[in-house]
């Protein structure tokens, strides 16, 4: 390791120590000589003290062509704005790593088993479409089925009590969407019963209630037949 790399490593180790030790941080920042030096060094490794500072740093990096990517199960996920330096402990599984740039080879997405489940961490802000392979991986690892067709503007969530499944369908986009339903349900917002199909217009919402099922209700995206709000089925 040459001298510049050694200095960089020592500076990074010192900053990590300050970040984890509140008393040490207080003592350093209360001394004028040390505080100025600490701020100057930290500015090389952080994005500032406020959200506006972080946005300015991200935009400056993009202007210089600094754009990272993540190698995830053979797919390249674009990181347009923000990424974080991670170091994985021995009990942490690295599911995706940075490819190229200053963080090349470092962990980007990690998983750590905890009890009967696991904790996942994504250390970057990726494009919405880039979250799809990560979500599929999370679901597959948990033994939960994942949809083949997805839409980043669509959200489907099921909640249940002892007798009823309540499935919330939300269209966050401007284009209409449609679903093939796994079973019939009544929309609590309109009173309309949907037996096989549900259509939502732009920013549409529906909450379908159905008798409690032994399995999670599973709807499949399909092509909408209409460009307007759904009508009652015959």
Phi-psi region of 66 (alpha: psi -120 to 50; beta: other; left: phi over 0): beta
Tell me what pLDDT residue 1 has: 52
Q: Extract the tokens encoding 107.
A: 């962990």
Inter-residue long-range contacts of 93-96, CB under 8 Å, 24+ positions, other chains counted: 95/120, 95/134, 95/137, 96/70, 96/71, 96/72, 96/134
Tell me what pLDDT residue 230 has: 45
Q: Which residues contact 148 (CB under 8 A, 6 or more apart)?
A: none
Tell me what pLDDT residue 234 has: 40
- Domains of the chain with CATH codes: 3-46 (no CATH), 68-141 (no CATH), 154-222 (2.60.40.1180)
Higher pLDDT pick, 207 / 183 = 207
| Angstrom distance (rounded) from CA 7 to CA 122 | 29
Tell me what pLDDT residue 8 has: 62
- Evaluate if residue 19 carries a pLDDT over 70: no
Q: What are the backbone angles phi and psi of residue 111, rounded to the nearest 5°?
A: -140, 135
CB 166 within 8 A of CB 208: yes
Tell me what pLDDT residue 31 has: 79
Tell me what pLDDT residue 50 has: 66
| Angstrom distance (rounded) from CA 121 to CA 87 | 12
Tell me what pLDDT residue 215 has: 77
* pLDDT tens track for 193-229: 999 899 999 999 999 999 998 877 778 888 887 654 4
Give the model's confidence band at 78: pLDDT under 50 very low, under 70 low, under 90 confident, else very high.
confident
| Angstrom distance (rounded) from CA 69 to CA 99 | 6
| Angstrom distance (rounded) from CA 32 to CA 120 | 40
* High-pLDDT (> 70) share of the chain, %: 74
* pLDDT tens track for 23-70: 777 777 787 777 776 666 666 555 556 666 666 665 665 555 556 788
Across all residues in the chain, what is the average pLDDT? Answer: 80
What is the mean predicted confidence (pLDDT) over 102-129? Answer: 89
Tell me what pLDDT residue 44 has: 55
């Amino acid at each position: 390791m040459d001298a510049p790399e050694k200095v960089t490593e020592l500076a990074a180790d010192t900053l990590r120590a300050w970040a984890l030790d509140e008393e040490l941080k207080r003592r350093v920042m209360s001394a004028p000589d040390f505080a100025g030096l600490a701020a100057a060094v930290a500015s090389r490794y952080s994005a500032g003290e406020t959200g506006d500072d972080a946005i300015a740093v991200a935009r400056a990096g993009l202007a210089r062509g600094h754009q990272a990517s993540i190698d995830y199960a053979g797919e390249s996920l674009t990181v347009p704005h923000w990424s974080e330096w991670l170091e994985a402990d021995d009990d942490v599984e690295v599911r995706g790593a940075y490819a190229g740039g200053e963080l090349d080879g470092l962990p980007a997405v990690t998983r750590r088993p905890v009890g009967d489940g696991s904790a996942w961490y994504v250390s970057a802000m990726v494009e919405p479409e880039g979250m799809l392979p990560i979500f599929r991986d999370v679901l597959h690892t948990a033994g939960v089925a994942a949809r083949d067709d997805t839409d980043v503007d669509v959200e489907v969530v099921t909640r249940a009590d002892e007798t009823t499944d309540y499935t919330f369908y939300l269209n966050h986009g401007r284009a209409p969407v449609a679903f093939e339903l796994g079973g019939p349900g009544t929309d609590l917002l309109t009173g309309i019963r949907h037996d096989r199909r549900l259509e939502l217009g732009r920013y549409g919402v529906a909450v379908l209630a159905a008798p409690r099922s032994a399995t999670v209700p599973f709807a499949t995206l399909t092509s909408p037949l209409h460009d307007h709000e759904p009508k009652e089925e015959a």
